[in-house]
Amino acid sequence: MVCIVAFFILCITSIFSARFRRPLKKAWACLTKKVRLQKCETGFKDDVKNSVLARVVMRRPELVKPLGVAMEVLAVVLVIVMVWSVAEVVKGGAAMIAFGTCDVRQPSACVLGTGEACNIDGERLGFIESIRTGQPHRFVTNWFSEFGEAFSGIPVRFRNWDAMDYIPENASFYRDFDWGLPIALKILDPGCGVCRDSYLNKLDSGFMDRYNLAFLAYPIPGVQGEEWAFRNSYLIVRYIEAVRSVELEWFLELEEGEGEILRTELATDWMIIDRLFTGFDEMGRQYQDAFNASYSAEEAEERLQSWLREWGFSEEELEQIVDRSRSGEVRATIETNMNVVDNVIRTKMIPTMIFDGRRWHGLYS
Amino acid sequence: MKFLRGKKEAVDSGEFGYLDAEAVYFDSACQSLRPQPVIDALTEYYKEFNSCGERVKYAWGRKVDERIEDTRGAVLKLLKMSPRKYFVSFTLNTTYGVNLVLSQLKEGVVKKVVTTDIEHNSVGLATIAFAKKHGVEREVIARKDDGSIDLKKANFKDALVVVNAVSNIDGRVLKNLHEVVDRVRKGGGVVVLDAAQAMAHSRGVIERCEADVVVFSAHKMYAPSLGVMVVGRGLLEKIDLGFVGGGMVDDAWEDDYKLSYTNDEHIHTVFEPGLQAFGEIVALGEAIRWLKKTEKTQVVELKRLSKKLFDFLKSKKGVVLVNKEANAVISFYHKKIDGHLLAAGMSSKGIMARSGYFCCHYYLDHVKKYPPLVRFSLGYHTREEDVDRAIEALEKVLN
């Protein structure tokens, strides 16, 4: 173990000084024997230990034995840490390729990530916590699970993505569907600021004029006891899914020859998103900020209902939408959509977009 | 380089004044330090007559020849051996010399090979290889504590006997060397004597000996790196020469050659293939002169310093001495401290002593099962303060 540690240290020191290159060769010879499970007979290990203990033995000979043992133990620990570090780097690299973040479980913890995205963080059982709770096996199995997830995500990342495969059945397109344009899907969380910025950028760039754009509403789950990352996201998504569900029923109930009554310029689900991302309340607060930071659940719901009234929904229709938003059907739809995001699209960052055969993470710019 | 020993002290310390006073060297058994006159002689060769010897007619070459012949003569004179019976060849070192003889001994000349347990690998490995090559028995005799061989138990008939005159482990001397040589020769055998450790400080034991070959390393007797073979003329009948080339032929034809050694004047060439280390040979001559002069006054001091160090080590509880008595080579181990670590520790204090098994793995590791040892080997460069520094450094450690 000592020569393995020495090899890595000498690799670094040799970059800066030629005098370490000769011992580096010895360490390499020793290391190559070790990895082939052969005995290292170069005496390099003793040289390394003696170089440290030589001065000790002349002053405090009684410390030589405990220090020698400590060096062996330290070497084992360092080798474990190094192997673990290398494995972490490999895992992080794979995750970076697959998901655009080096941390599979908690993307926000990765300093190499884009930063311009809302991360879908999961709960992580730390090593100390796993020991404290008497389940170190869970720490190990979780680690390997993340390792497998990172590598299995690589081919997924590079496959040919077709937005049509993931657009919810009841979703609407931003503009009237144009057969001549490609299809794009945006996965967004109504509370995510990057989703808002991304939406505004798309408006500015005319993205919606070049693509048939639909969206999948995904409320990012919270961590550390919070149910959701943004406190009113789930409520908004429930309303979006309720509107989609109810409007689809109304559409299907139309008699032949009756035209669909379009109350607003956009489909209602897009209207909610548009108002949320671009509108301001009477106190001058941007709606998304207000929903995230100011509105209670009741206030948020009242605000959503006021928008629907404003857009021409009758009290009876509104009541139907509210009832639907609280229904198991809507909850099931949201769960299904979230399952698609988590396990089929397998993204770790919101917004995620699918267009032009690829999956894109983070801010659209 | 700090010349802290100073010029006056240089004289007092036997022409080693050029040494850094901070450096304390205790590995003379491997390679002795060179006194200034020897260094000067080597430098003189390089600066004043740096040329080939043998078969040259120009002035420098003739001077080389003269000085080399002087050295050959000085070697024989030093060992009190007759030029009528012996000649001197130069080679690389003791190991090389032993192998030159053993690898060229005629098939069937001996029926067994005998050596002893305290041999250096130069003898141990060479005799193992010889036994395997010739398919003969190899016998390893245990040396007595006093270094002698129990002749009652030994059977030297038709044997190749390869032994050291002095051990590099503890300076043990083959006290009955002359009886051993006599017995071997009477039994029709061949004696090859490893005199590497004897030449500097225990030369008396091999003087006038009748061994077939005496091999030693000049670099252990204050000369530059060089091997020396003192070869009995009678041995040549038993040699089947196979290591041949430049510097050893009188004439050469398409399919044959005439070797120079058949001419008595060039007999030494039998073991001297290729160009020789002329400068080192010249400086060996100077080393012999210096040694003869120095030992007259310094040998008692060397013995006194060796005893002082030996007595110190003997007084330490944790120390196990391999030596039975004090001499210039002292080996020991500590019951609790690794020998290599101790040597490294001393090195951090500027004290250079050898550690390990000193190329005697069979005896020290496998027979005695000792842990790695530490060896102090003193020389004529050693001063009282060197020994004091070693004692001071070890005082606390070995308690």
ipTM metric: 0.71
In a domain, residue B251? The reply is yes
Q: How far apart are the first and last CA of chain A?
A: 50
pLDDT of residue B10: 45
Q: Which one of B231, B257, B285 terminates a domain?
A: B285
A55 has a chain B CB within 8 A of its CB: yes
Residues of chain B with pLDDT below 50 are 1-11
- CA separation for the pair A201, A197 (Å, rounded): 6
Per-residue pLDDT at A38 exceeds 50: yes
Q: How many structural domains does chain B have?
A: 2
In a domain, B192, yes or no: yes
Q: Give yes or no: residues B274 and B321 share one domain.
A: no
Of B338, B340, B397, the CB nearest to A58: B397
Q: Does A233 score more than 60 pLDDT? A: yes
Which pLDDT does position B14 carry in this prediction?
54
Residue of higher predicted confidence among A47 and B374? B374
Say if the Cβ atoms of A54 and B337 lie within 8 Å: no
Q: Which residue has the tokens 């398919």?
A: B135
**Interchain CB distance below 8 Å, B397 and A61:** yes
CB-nearest to A55 from B337, B342, B345 is B345
The answer to whether residue B349 neighbours chain A at the CB level (below 8 Å) is yes
Contacts of B393 in chain A (CB under 8 A): 58
Does B175 map to a domain? yes
Q: How far is A69 from chain B (nearest CA, A)?
A: 14
* Gap between the Cα atoms of A111 and A91, Å rounded: 15
Task: Tokens 């690998």: give the residue.
Answer: B121
Task: Write out chain A residues lying below 8 Å of B317, CB-based.
Answer: none
If phi over 0 gives left and psi between -120 and 50 gives alpha, with beta otherwise, what is residue A319? alpha
Interface residue B373 vs chain A (CB under 8 A): no
- Examine residue B2 and state whether it is found in any structural domain, yes or no: no
Task: Find chain B residues with C-beta within 8 A of A46's C-beta.
Answer: 338, 340-341
Burial profile A140-156: b = 16 or more Cβ within 10 angstroms, e = fewer: eebbeebbebbeebeee
Please indicate, yes or no, whether residues B319 and B199 belong to a single structural domain of this protein.
no
Q: Domains of chain A by range and CATH? A: 90-159 (no CATH), 163-361 (3.40.30.10)
Interface residue B39 vs chain A (CB under 8 A): no
| Residue B275 CA from chain centroid, whole number | 22
A58 Cα to chain B: minimum distance (Å): 6
Residue A2 or A137, more confident: A137
Q: Are residues B173 and B272 in the same domain?
A: yes
Q: Find chain B residues with C-beta within 8 A of A51's C-beta.
A: 344
B75, B204: one domain: yes
* Residue among B336, B347, B396 whose CB faces A54 most closely: B347
CA distance B351 to B22: 8
Among B285, B318, B353, where does a domain finish?
B285
Map residue A252 onto helix, strand or coil: helix
The CATH code of the domain that includes B385 is 3.90.1150.10
* Chain B residues touching A59 at Cβ < 8 A: 396
Does residue B3 sit within a domain?
no
Q: What's the domain range around B368?
A: 8-36+294-395
Check whether residue B127 and residue B227 sit in a common domain. Answer: yes
Inter-chain residue contact A57 with B342, CB threshold 8 Å: yes
Q: In this complex, is the C-beta atom of B140 within 8 Å of any C-beta atom belonging to chain A?
A: no
Residue B376 C-alpha, separation from nearest chain A C-alpha, in angstroms: 17
Q: Are residues B311 and B260 in the same domain?
A: no
Q: What is the pLDDT of residues B281-292, one digit of tens each?
A: 999 999 999 999
Same domain, B86 and B177: yes
Nearest CA in chain B to A62: B397
CATH number at residue B252: 3.40.640.10
Closest-CA residue in chain B for A49?
Answer: B341
DSSP letter (8 states) at residue A43: S
pLDDT digits 0-9 by tens, A291-309: 999 999 999 999 999 999 9
If pLDDT is split at 50, 70 and 90, which confidence band does A41 have?
low
**Residue B23 located in a structural domain:** yes
Beta bridge partners, B81, equal none
Answer whether residue B361 is part of any domain.
yes
Give residues with Cβ within 8 angstroms of A237, minimum separation 6.
A190, A217, A218, A219, A334
- Are B18 and B49 within one domain? no
**What mean pLDDT is predicted for residues A343-347?**
89
Residue B396: list chain A partners with CB under 8 A.
58-59, 61
How close, in Å, is residue B236 to chain A by CA atoms?
Answer: 41
Residues B96 and B220 in one domain: yes
| Disruptive mutation site among B340, B341, B399 for chain A (greatest number of A CBs within 10 Å) | B341
Q: Is B317 on the interface with A (CB under 8 A)?
A: no
Partners of A56 on chain B (C-beta within 8 Å) are 345
- Contact (CB<8Å) A54/B336: no
Give me the pLDDT at residue A211, please. Answer: 94
Q: Which two tokens stand for residue A110?
A: 């990765």
Q: Is the pLDDT of residue A257 over 80?
A: no
Comparing A124 with B105, which gets the higher pLDDT? B105
Q: Decide if B336 and A49 are in contact by the 8 Å CB cutoff.
A: no
Chain A CB within 8 Å of residue B322 CB: no
Any B CB within 8 A of A39 CB: no
Q: Does A51 touch chain B (CB under 8 A)?
A: yes
User: pLDDT per residue over B314-338, tens digit each?
Assistant: 999 899 999 999 999 999 999 999 9
Q: Is B397 on the interface with A (CB under 8 A)?
A: yes
Q: Which of A46, A58, A65 sits opposite B345 (nearest CB)?
A: A58
Q: Do B345 and A46 touch (CB under 8 A)?
A: no
**Is there a contact between B184 and B190 (Cβ–Cβ < 8 Å)?**
yes
Residue in chain B closest to A55 (alpha carbons) equals B345
Please check whether residue B343 lies inside any domain of the structure: yes
Which pTM does this prediction carry? 0.72
Q: Residue B337 is nearest to which of A46, A51, A61, comparing CB atoms?
A: A61
B123 and B25 part of one domain:
no
Cα B42 versus chain centre, distance: 20
Question: Which of A58, A59, A65, A67 should one mutate to test binding to chain B, selecting the residue with the greatest count of B CBs within 10 A?
Answer: A58
Beta carbons of A58 and B396 less than 8 Å apart:
yes
Considering the domain architecture, whether residues B124 and B92 belong to the same structural domain is answered as yes
Residue B335: list chain A partners with CB under 8 A.
Answer: none
Residues B235, B315, single domain; the answer is no
A149–chain B nearest CA distance, Å: 49
Give me the total of CB pairs closer than 8 Å, taking one residue from chain A and one from chain B: 41
Q: How far is CA B328 from each of CA A223, B143, B167, B352, rounded to the nearest angstrom? A: 77, 19, 11, 15
Cα–Cα distance measured from residue B61 to residue A242, given in angstroms and rounded to the nearest whole number: 112
Final residue in a domain of this structure, among B285, B311, B333: B285
